[in-house]
Every structure is written in structure tokens, then in C-alpha cells.
């Protein structure tokens, strides 16, 4: 019955309650939609980042990650690819050659990363082929001899267009300078201006031939998973299988750079050798040889420092800024909605205080006839929670409807496309918010209702019935 | 047998200041079960203060109040609230019904606090409304009832918890003659037929005329 009274009491002053409800609803509509918008922006960025730039997982020669020299290749790369393709979580795999080079046209030159890809395999890993600028551009179609694809910004810088020739200067595996001419078949434009400015694509076999790289070798293996973001399991499996560990001069230098204690450094120095270990073997050796309890804290750093062979990196490592933004999205929601609710909370405090002050005689009567103070407190808190919840439900319903509509139709931000491209974000944003966030926000609304009611409820329980009844 | 005993009861407002007000002054009284008593006196003589002390709504400056063998001054705040709920019925001058509840729900409310079943609550509430002549207005909210009808609902509410006695503070002050007579007849009848104990605080002659026992207060003292 107290629940019923609390509910009925909300509607005593309809206008006042409606003002609070509308304020909460608008606050949540704004807060949730804004967070959904940021989420959509980030998801758009992540989708493109993974499907065009970094893929889900990449394999490299461990030394290549530190120093992108031509010689740091993955040997027997096709064996790795066959092995990886057996995993059911893998959607596609593509090998790449990657060199830093100078590209020049008749009128200008630019330094960029030249990436050699197998076009058919690469299309399964990367959606770059969808990002061709116009109908003149193709994805390695139309020119048999040494086709090249460049970004729009590079094309502008070099003042070239489709069918123009570009000269590539590089150093082959023997250290000899080579120069080769490619013909532009496509100009791409992704949502990340930085990516467009830094990368050009040629066929794997063309680059392999120019650089004199033997068959079965590549710099990079790009893997895309069916569930693009869920990389941890496969990453760990591959790392376990492919990464080797060795304590040599290079790893010792890394240990020093990581500020690992000198005692650990000298112990590692004492067992330095060129022998390579699997992860299990290496961990077991560390444990048995010298890593004591106090040094276990550093064992992860030691492992990383001693990595050799193949290094397996997931998108979170390849693009840590995206990983950070993803992990912050929930936090952003709490902060955003929290600030809005805190502001609204003061409005609820004011309303509930008015409610109590207007009903002093009635509350006094309730206490007089036997309603204990705990129940009086609960009644006021319930009124506040119900009032907040009505606003919350209305706000979340409106926000849900709006986000749902916008998630299908999108928000066209093309007027800011230059700025967004510079940061790598899409100009068409599809707001999105996880379903469980609605529950979390509802809980936050309930908590706000409870907190906002505490002061008015304490005021109510302190009412002296003998005085209140005569008011 | 006394159900209420007041001994050496005092209530002093502004105690310790230059202008203390002795609202209840050394009162010794007792009330028997089944009484229909009226505490009378001019405005400000201490009637309401005495009634509030009797009902455990206010604490005396000194003296004892023993109700049905329980010295209420020794009860904790929450025990005193429970004691009021189970032993004392209140009828206030301004009715003080809950405006968002119907007449029946107002009567049921205290039984809800006593954790009575829904069925028992409903049956007793309707029976009590019947006894005050408002069975047909059970589903009407107080705002749609006249002053007299609201006060009759308040009487039914006061009876709902099966209290040992009912305290009525100026219950007729806001009522016209007809409503007053109607209300007093109902209360008198409840006293006669069901043995309900009523203690009034009033200076209304119509109430005083009905009293079986008159207690006269002047400046907080019982003078007759």
C-alpha cells in the first residue's frame, strides 16, 4: 500500500512531477544519444581500422617490429598461412611485403610505405577495394604490368592521376639500389587521411621480383577473424605456437631498457645463449633457473624482451589508441550520464523537499497514527525513485528509439569530413549502444532517485507529529 | 478499572528561559474503560497539549503516563509509535485524511501498517464505514466528501486498529450543526453499543452536553 500511496502521491502535483520527468527524460535522451553517437563514431573507426588498416591479427618477424628492415622476413610463410587457415575463427589470411620507399612522379616525390599484396587474397582481408575514388580507379585491374594503387592525398601531392606513371626507388636484398616504374590503376580514399597519405599498394609478385626476395617469404601476415575484435584466444594460441624466446645481446638490451632490476639482468646475462625456446620451455627455465617469487613480477617483461622468431600482434597492440578508446567507452557513458543525473538530482532534491514541506501535516498524522519513521523514510524515497524512474524510462525509450532509428539511417557528418578524416573517423556515423547499457543507466537513475531523496526523507522523519498536526 | 493514569504530569514550554509556559500543570487524572469524557476549557488552557501527552505525541516535562499498565515515557521512539498504532485512535480537528486514497483505503491504511490480510482489511473497513453511515461512499476520495463525512471517515479510521481508546481533538470545530450532531450521535452510539472509550478535547457546547464526564482545565490545571 505504501508503494501505491507513493505512486499516487507523484501525481498530486502533475505539473511539478511532469517538469521533473521531462527534465530527466531530456537529460537521458541527450546523454545516451551523445554516448551512442561517440560509440558509433568509434565503431566506424574500428571497423575501418581493422578491415583496411591493421586487420585482426598480424604476424611479423620479431625483429621487423623493432626495425622495419627488408631482411627481417617470415620464412616459410605459406606453411604458417596453411596452419592458420585451419582455425575455424579465421575468415581470411593474406601475406604482404612492406618496405619504406620513395615514390616519384614527373613533378614531385613522396616517402611512403609500399605494400605488396596478393589482390585476390587481400580482398578477403581488406575492404580497400571498396574505397576506390571513382569509376576510373580499379583494384589491380586493367594494367598487366606493375600496377600501383595510391591514396588520394598522395596523388594530389605527386600531381598524378589514374594511368600516370610512378617511379619507385628502393634497395633490394643484396643492398643494391633499384628503380622501377609502376602505372597507377587506382586511387583510394579511406576515412583515415593519415593512412591514405602513408601507404601505396602493389602486387606481391611485382615487389618480390624487384627486391629479389625468394619465394615463401613475407614481411607480414594479416589475419581477419569472423568476429573481428575477439582476437585474444587465437592470438595466444598462435603466440604459443610460433613465438620463440632467446636470451642474447638484443634481449638483454631490451631488459635494460625496460628498467628491470639489475639482479634479474645479471641472472639473465649468466645464462645468455643463442638457443631458442618455446614459451612453455622458456617459462619453465626462468622458473627453475632463477626467477624467484620477488622477480615473478618481472617475468612478463622478461618474456616480452626475449621474444624472437614470429611475433603475433593483435589489433589492440597494433592500434593501442583504438583499444584504449574502446575500453573507455563504458567509462565515458558513466561519466556523461553521471554528470547529467547529478545535475538532475539537485532538481529532484528540490522537488522532493517541496513535497515534504507541503505535506508536513499529513506526514505528522501518519507518524501519529502509527507509521514508523522507517516507513515514512521509505515512502519518500519510493516517491523519488518512482519519479526518477518514470523520467528514466521515458528518456531511455526516447533515446532507444532515436538511437535505433539513427543506427539504421546514420548521421551525415560530411560537413566535417575533412576534420574527421584527419582523425580517421567516418563522416557517416551510425550511433550504437549496447543493450546492457540501458540497464546500467536505469540503475544509475534509481541510485540518483535514492540519493536525491535522502535529505527530504530525513526532513520528513524529523517531523514532530504534535506540532505538524496543528499546522 | 483505569486504562489511563496520569500522575503529577507537567508540560512546560520554553523551559529554562525567562518566559516558561506551563501548559500542563501537575495533572493527576485517570480514565476508565468505556468513558465518554470531555476535557474542556478556554483556548490556550492546555487541552490539546494534555491530549497530545495522553496520545504519546508529545513528551511530558515531568510526571508519568501509564496506559493499560505500560509507562509510555519509558518506551523507545519506535516502540511508542507501535504502541500508538495498536492502542490509541486519533480524530483530528482537520480530519487529516490521505487525499490520494479513497475512504475505504484511508480506513484500511492503519490495518496495513498492522500487517492485517487484504481480506480482513477490506471487510473491517467496509464494516466501519457502515457503522459511520458511509458504506456507499467507500470508493470516494476525501476531496469529494463533505467536512462531516470526512470526519466520520476519520472516526472509522481511528477505530480500524481496534484501539483501547480514541482521542478526539476539537473534532467538531470545522463542522456545521447538523454534521456535528450526526458525528456525535455516531460516536455516542459506538460508546454505548460497542463500549469504545472516547476522550475529547473541546470547548464546543454540543460536545460538552454529550459528555458523561467533564474535566475542566484552566491554565494547565484541572479545576473540575
Cell of B108: 484500511
Considering only the beta carbons, identify the residue of B81, B100, B105 that sits closest to A12: B100
pLDDT at A292: 59
Q: How many residues does chain B have?
A: 224
Interchain CB contact of B105 with A (< 8 Å) = yes
Q: Domain spans of chain A? A: 2-49+323-470, 57-225, 247-305
Q: Does position A245 have pLDDT exceeding 90, yes or no?
A: no
| CB-based contact B94 A361, cutoff 8 Å | yes
pLDDT at A169: 92
**A chain contacts of residue B158, beta-carbon cutoff 8 Å:** 369
Contact A108, A158 (CB under 8 A): yes
Distance CA B1, CA A462 (A): 36
Q: Which residue of A has its CA nearest to B121?
A: A1
Q: What is the largest CA-CA distance in chain B?
A: 56
pLDDT at A396: 93
Instruction: Please give the average per-residue pLDDT across A371-376, as a whole number.
Output: 91
What is the distance in angstroms between the Cα of B189 and the nearest Cα belonging to chain A?
23
Distance CA B218, CA B209 (A): 19
Interchain CB contact of A272 with B (< 8 Å) = no
Averaged confidence pLDDT in chain B: 91
pLDDT at A295: 60
Disruptive mutation site among B58, B60, B81, B165 for chain A (greatest number of A CBs within 10 Å):
B81
Those of residues 174-203 in A touching chain B at CB distance below 8 A are none
Q: Which residue of A has its CA nearest to B92?
A: A469
Distance CA A236, CA B20 (A): 84
| A127-131, A418-422, A446-450: least confident range | A418-422
Helix count and strand count (H, E) for chain A: 20, 12
Tell me the backbone φ, ψ of residue A240, rounded to 5 degrees.
Answer: -60, -40
Highest average pLDDT, of A269-283, A377-391, A406-420, comes from: A377-391
pLDDT at A470: 76
**A chain contacts of residue B77, beta-carbon cutoff 8 Å:** 373
Report pLDDT digits (tens) over A311-367.
Answer: 899 998 888 888 888 888 778 888 888 999 999 999 999 999 999 999 999 999 999
| CB-based contact B108 A369, cutoff 8 Å | no
- DSSP code string of A128-162: GGGGBSSTT--SS-S-SS-EEEEEHHHHHHHT--T
With the CA atoms of B208, A469, B127 and B34 taken in that order, what torsion angle do they form, in degrees rounded to the nearest 10? -40
Disruptive mutation site among A8, A14, A368, A471 for chain B (greatest number of B CBs within 10 Å):
A368
Strands B36-40 and A57-61: unpaired
pLDDT at A296: 64
Distance CA A196, CA A131 (A): 11
Q: Does position A471 have pLDDT exceeding 80, yes or no?
A: no
Disruptive mutation site among B109, B114, B157 for chain A (greatest number of A CBs within 10 Å):
B109
What is the distance in angstroms between the Cα of B177 and the nearest Cα belonging to chain A?
23
Query: Could you tell me which of B78, B9, B67, B3 has the C-alpha nearest to residue B33?
Result: B3
| CA of residue A9 relative to chain centroid, distance | 46
Interchain CB contact of A5 with B (< 8 Å) = yes
Distance CA B56, CA A466 (A): 9
Cell of A199: 601507404
Of the pLDDT bands very low, low, confident and very high (cuts 50, 70, 90), residue B37 is very high
Angstrom CA distances, A175 to A62, A70, A80, A115, A170, stand at: 21, 10, 27, 19, 9
| CB-based contact B82 A370, cutoff 8 Å | yes
Provide long-range contacts, Cβ within 8 A and 24+ apart, for B20-27.
Answer: B22/B219, B22/B220, B23/B49, B23/B220, B24/B49, B24/B50, B24/B53, B24/B60, B24/B220, B25/B219, B25/B220, B25/B221, B26/B63, B26/B221, B27/B63, B27/B220, B27/B221, B27/B222
Distance CA A230, CA A224 (A): 10
pLDDT at B81: 92
Interchain CB contact of B48 with A (< 8 Å) = yes
- In which element (H, E) is residue B187 found? helix B177-194
Which residue shows C-alpha cell 480482513?
Answer: B120
| CB-based contact A469 B96, cutoff 8 Å | yes
Q: Does position A195 have pLDDT exceeding 60, yes or no?
A: yes
Angstrom CA distances, A232 to A44, A57, A227, A312, A356, stand at: 21, 9, 11, 11, 55
- The proportion of chain B whose per-residue pLDDT surpasses 70, expressed as a percent, equals 100
What is the distance in angstroms between the Cα of B173 and the nearest Cα belonging to chain A?
13
| CB-based contact A370 B109, cutoff 8 Å | no
| CB-based contact A370 B81, cutoff 8 Å | yes
pLDDT at A303: 82
Interchain CB contact of B101 with A (< 8 Å) = yes
Contact A445, A385 (CB under 8 A): no
pLDDT at A451: 94
| CB-based contact B85 A370, cutoff 8 Å | yes
| CB-based contact B77 A373, cutoff 8 Å | yes
Disruptive mutation site among B47, B52, B153 for chain A (greatest number of A CBs within 10 Å):
B52
Of the pLDDT bands very low, low, confident and very high (cuts 50, 70, 90), residue A290 is low
Contact B95, B173 (CB under 8 A): no
**A chain contacts of residue B96, beta-carbon cutoff 8 Å:** 361-362, 365, 469
**B chain contacts of residue A469, beta-carbon cutoff 8 Å:** 57, 92, 94, 96, 169
Considering only the beta carbons, identify the residue of B52, B78, B110 that sits closest to A369: B110
pTM above 0.90, yes or no: no
Considering only the beta carbons, identify the residue of A9, A362, A370 that sits closest to B96: A362
pLDDT at B8: 92
Contact A391, A21 (CB under 8 A): yes
| CB-based contact B113 A375, cutoff 8 Å | yes
Report pLDDT digits (tens) over A62-74.
Answer: 888 878 888 899 9
- This model of the complex carries an ipTM of 0.91
Q: Which residue of B has its CA nearest to A365?
A: B96
Helix count and strand count (H, E) for chain B: 7, 10
Averaged confidence pLDDT in chain A: 89
Angstrom CA distances, A279 to A235, A283, A326, stand at: 14, 6, 29
Of the pLDDT bands very low, low, confident and very high (cuts 50, 70, 90), residue A167 is very high
| CB-based contact B57 A466, cutoff 8 Å | yes
Of the pLDDT bands very low, low, confident and very high (cuts 50, 70, 90), residue A434 is confident
Interchain CB contact of A470 with B (< 8 Å) = yes
Contact A40, A432 (CB under 8 A): yes
Contact A173, A167 (CB under 8 A): no
Q: Does position A294 have pLDDT exceeding 60, yes or no?
A: no
Amino acid at each position: 500500500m505504501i508503494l501505491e500511496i507513493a505512486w499516487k502521491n507523484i501525481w498530486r502535483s502533475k505539473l511539478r512531477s511532469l517538469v521533473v520527468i521531462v527534465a530527466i527524460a531530456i537529460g537521458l535522451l541527450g546523454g545516451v544519444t551523445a554516448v551512442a553517437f561517440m560509440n558509433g563514431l568509434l565503431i566506424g573507426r574500428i571497423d575501418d581500422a581493422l578491415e583496411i588498416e591493421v586487420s585482426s591479427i598480424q604476424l611479423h618477424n620479431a625483429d621487423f617490429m623493432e626495425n622495419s628492415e627488408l631482411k627481417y622476413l617470415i620464412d616459410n610463410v605459406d606453411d604458417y598461412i596453411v596452419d592458420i587457415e585451419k582455425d575455424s575463427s579465421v575468415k581470411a589470411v593474406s601475406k604482404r611485403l612492406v618496405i619504406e620507399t620513395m615514390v616519384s612522379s614527373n613533378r614531385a616525390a613522396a616517402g611512403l610505405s609500399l605494400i605488396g599484396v596478393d589482390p585476390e587474397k587481400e580482398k578477403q582481408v581488406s575492404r580497400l577495394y571498396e574505397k576506390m575514388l571513382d569509376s576510373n580507379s580499379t583494384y589491380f585491374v586493367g594494367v598487366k604490368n606493375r600496377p600501383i594503387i595510391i591514396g588520394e592525398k598522395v596523388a594530389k601531392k605527386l600531381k598524378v592521376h589514374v594511368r600516370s606513371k610512378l617511379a619507385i626507388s628502393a634497395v633490394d636484398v643484396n643492398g643494391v639500389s633499384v628503380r622501377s616504374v609502376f602505372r597507377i590503376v587506382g586511387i583510394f580514399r579511406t576515412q583515415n587521411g593519415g593512412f591514405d597519405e602513408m601507404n601505396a599498394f602493389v602486387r606481391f609478385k611485382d615487389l618480390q621480383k624487384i627486391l629479389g626476395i625468394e619465394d615463401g617469404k613475407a614481411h607480414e601476415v594479416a589475419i581477419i577473424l569472423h568476429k573481428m575484435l575477439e582476437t585474444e584466444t587465437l592470438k595466444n594460441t598462435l603466440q604459443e605456437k610460433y613465438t620463440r624466446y632467446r636470451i642474447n645481446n638484443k634481449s638483454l638490451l631490451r631488459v635494460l631498457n625496460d628498467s628491470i632490476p639489475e639482479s634479474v639482468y645479471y641472472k639473465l646475462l649468466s645464462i645468455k645463449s643463442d638457443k631458442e625456446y618455446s614459451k612453455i620451455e622458456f617459462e619453465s627455465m626462468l622458473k627453475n633457473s632463477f626467477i624467484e617469487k620477488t622477480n615473478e613480477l618481472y617475468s612478463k617483461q622478461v618474456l616480452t624482451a626475449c621474444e624472437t622468431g614470429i611475433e603475433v600482434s593483435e589489433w589492440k597492440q597494433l592500434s593501442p589508441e583504438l583499444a584504449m578508446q574502446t575500453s573507455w567507452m563504458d567509462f565515458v557513458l558513466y561519466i556523461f550520464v553521471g554528470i547529467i543525473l547529478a545535475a538532475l538530482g539537485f532538481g529532484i532534491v528540490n522537488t522532493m523537499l517541496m513535497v515534504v514541506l507541503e505535506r508536513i501535516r499529513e506526514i505528522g498524522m501518519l507518524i501519529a497514527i502509527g507509521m514508523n519513521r522507517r516507513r515514512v523514510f521509505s515512502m519518500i524515497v519510493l516517491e523519488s525513485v518512482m519519479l526518477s524512474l518514470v523520467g528514466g524510462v521515458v528518456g531511455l525509450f526516447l533515446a532507444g528509439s532515436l538511437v535505433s532509428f539513427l543506427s539504421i539511417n546514420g548521421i551525415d557528418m560530411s560537413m566535417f569530413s575533412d576534420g574527421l578524416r584527419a582523425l580517421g573517423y567516418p563522416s557517416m556515423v551510425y550511433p550504437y549502444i549496447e543493450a546492457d547499457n540501458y540497464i546500467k543507466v536505469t540503475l544509475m537513475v534509481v541510485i540518483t532517485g535514492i540519493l536525491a531523496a535522502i535529505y527530504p526523507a530525513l526532513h520528513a522523519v524529523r517531523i514532530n507529529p504534535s506540532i505538524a498536526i496543528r499546522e | 478499572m483505569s486504562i489511563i493514569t496520569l500522575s503529577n504530569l507537567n508540560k512546560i514550554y520554553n523551559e529554562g528561559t525567562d518566559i516558561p509556559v506551563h501548559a500542563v500543570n501537575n495533572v493527576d487524572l485517570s480514565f476508565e474503560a468505556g468513558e465518554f469524557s470531555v476535557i474542556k476549557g478556554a483556548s490556550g488552557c492546555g487541552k490539546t497539549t494534555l491530549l497530545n501527552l495522553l496520545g504519546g505525541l508529545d513528551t511530558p516535562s515531568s510526571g508519568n503516563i501509564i496506559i493499560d499498565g505500560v509507562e509510555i515515557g519509558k518506551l523507545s521512539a519506535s516502540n511508542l509509535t507501535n504502541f500508538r498504532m495498536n492502542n490509541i485512535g486519533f480524530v483530528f480537528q482537520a480530519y487529516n485524511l490521505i487525499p490520494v486514497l479513497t475512504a475505504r483505503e484511508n480506513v484500511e491504511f492503519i490495518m496495513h501498517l498492522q500487517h492485517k490480510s487484504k481480506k480482513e482489511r477490506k471487510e473491517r473497513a467496509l464494516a466501519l464505514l457502515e457503522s459511520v453511515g458511509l458504506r456507499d461512499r467507500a470508493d470516494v476520495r476525501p476531496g469529494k466528501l463533505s467536512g462531516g463525512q470526512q470526519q466520520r471517515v476519520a472516526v472509522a479510521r481511528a477505530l480500524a486498529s481496534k484501539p483501547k481508546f480514541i482521542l478526539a481533538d476539537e473534532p467538531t470545530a470545522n463542522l456545521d450543526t447538523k454534521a456535528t450532531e450526526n458525528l456525535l450521535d455516531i460516536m455516542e452510539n459506538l460508546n454505548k453499543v460497542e463500549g469504545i472509550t472516547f476522550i475529547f478535547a473541546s470547548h464546543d457546547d454540543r460536545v460538552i452536553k454529550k459528555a458523561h464526564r467533564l474535566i475542566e482545565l484552566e491554565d494547565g490545571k484541572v479545576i473540575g
